[in-house]
Amino acid sequence: MTDQELRDLVLSVLAGIAPDADLASLAPGEDLRERLDIDSMDHLNFVIGLHQATGVEIPERDYARLVTLRDTLAYLAARLHSGSH
């Protein structure tokens, strides 16, 4: 999966959670919870969506590494490339 594909995938998961949000203007370093008004239920759905789309197992202790779009992409890319999923 290319970086661009991964990015599109993460954005599509986010779009499913915050359907009416303007994701085009989302900056890579922005706090997703704050920017998209994501609560803990939305965040769980985000993690479920990422898992279903990529197959990466995301334990609860790693939730703190999914704060921004940039962090999320780095986290998923590292796991996809290491083949650990």
Identified binder of other proteins from the candidate list 4, 5, 60, 82, rule CB under 8 A: 60
> CA 72 to CA 5: how far, in whole Å?
14
2, 3, 4, 40: which one binds other proteins (CB under 8 A): 40
Whole-angstrom distance, CA of residue 66 vs CA of residue 13: 13
Alpha-carbon torsion angle 66, 49, 60, 34, nearest 10: 40
**Backbone CA torsion sign across 17, 29, 59, 3:** positive
Terminal-to-terminal C-alpha distance of the chain: 14
- Residues 27, 31, 55, 57: which binds other proteins (CB under 8 A)? 57
Q: Does 39 interact with other proteins (rule: CB under 8 A)?
A: yes
Pick the closer one to other proteins by CB: 44 or 67.
Answer: 44
Query: Per CB under 8 A, does 48 bind other proteins?
Result: yes
Contact residues for other proteins, defined by CB under 8 A: 15-16, 19-20, 22-24, 37, 39-41, 44-45, 47-48, 51, 57-60
